[in-house]
Amino acid sequence: MSVSTTSPFTRSELMNAFQAAENEVAAFFGSLSAEEFVLREGDAWTPAEHLVHINTSLSAVARGFGINRWLLRLRFGRPRQPSRRFEALVDDYNARLRAGAGASGRYVPPGEVLTGDERDRRRQELLERWQRVNARMRAALDHWSERDLERIRLPHPILGLITAREMAFFAIHHGPHHVTAAMRRLPRFR
């Protein structure tokens, strides 16, 4: 993804990177045929399930950014070190995935069997939700200062307690990461 080469850091750069990631995800999932959208390869998630997962994940991140910062600091404490760079956070996340970490609980999409017109309706519904969740995330982030992005921690199910800036990095990386995962399993992209 092009965002990783620009290494977003400031709030303004994060906002731009969110927009770019949102567009990349929407363009990919919107380009799939109805059959591709629900194609299952072995035990892997379908593209539809990837989109459900990234909607759920980004919604949780947006909720976290919407919580009063004083309460977050009280609950999760202050970081002991400054935020890593975007690439370092992505490298750490990918290393943990390679070591066996993965989605669990509410972040695992329920298996859906969609037929005929249901496929297109579901894709449209999920893409509209993607736009809403991204708008909510950008609106929440817009109220954070550079200082708060460094001073407040949020919990991540795989990475543990990370700075708010690092959580934004994760959220920017996560959607395109699932685009890549879905592409690997679709015959047309092999």
- Considering only residues 160 and 190, tell me which one the structure prediction assigns the higher pLDDT: 160
Count of CB atoms situated within 10 Å of the CB of 155: 14
53 confidence band (pLDDT: 50, 70, 90): very high
The answer, yes or no, to whether residue 3 has pLDDT greater than 50, is no
Packed helices 11-31 and 47-66: angle between N→C axes, nearest 10 degrees = 160
Segment 61-98, tens digit of pLDDT: 999 999 999 999 999 999 999 999 999 999 999 999 99
Q: Which domains does the chain have, with CATH numbers?
A: 2-189 (1.20.120.450)
CA proximity to 158, closest of 94, 106, 84, 86: 94
The answer, yes or no, to whether residue 2 has pLDDT greater than 50, is no
Partners of 162 in beta bridges: 154
CA proximity to 25, closest of 127, 153, 156, 144: 127
Summary mean pLDDT of the chain:
94
4 confidence band (pLDDT: 50, 70, 90): very low
Q: Residue by residue, what is the 3-state secondary structure of the chain?
A: CHHHHHCCCCHHHHHHHHHHHHHHHHHHHHHCCHHHHCCCCCCCCCHHHHHHHHHHHHHHHHHHHHCCHHHHHHHHCCCCCCCCCHHHHHHHHHHHHHCCCCCCHHHCCCCCCCCCHHHHHHHHHHHHHHHHHHHHHHHHHCCCCHHHHHHCEEEECCCEEEEHHHHHHHHHHHHHHHHHHHHHCCHHHC
Euclidean distance between CA atoms 130 and 25, whole angstroms? 9
Segment 86-96, tens digit of pLDDT: 999 999 999 99
Segment 103-149, tens digit of pLDDT: 999 999 998 888 888 999 999 999 999 999 999 999 999 999 999 99
Which of 36-45, 104-113, 154-163 has maximum average pLDDT? 154-163
Count of CB atoms situated within 10 Å of the CB of 124: 11
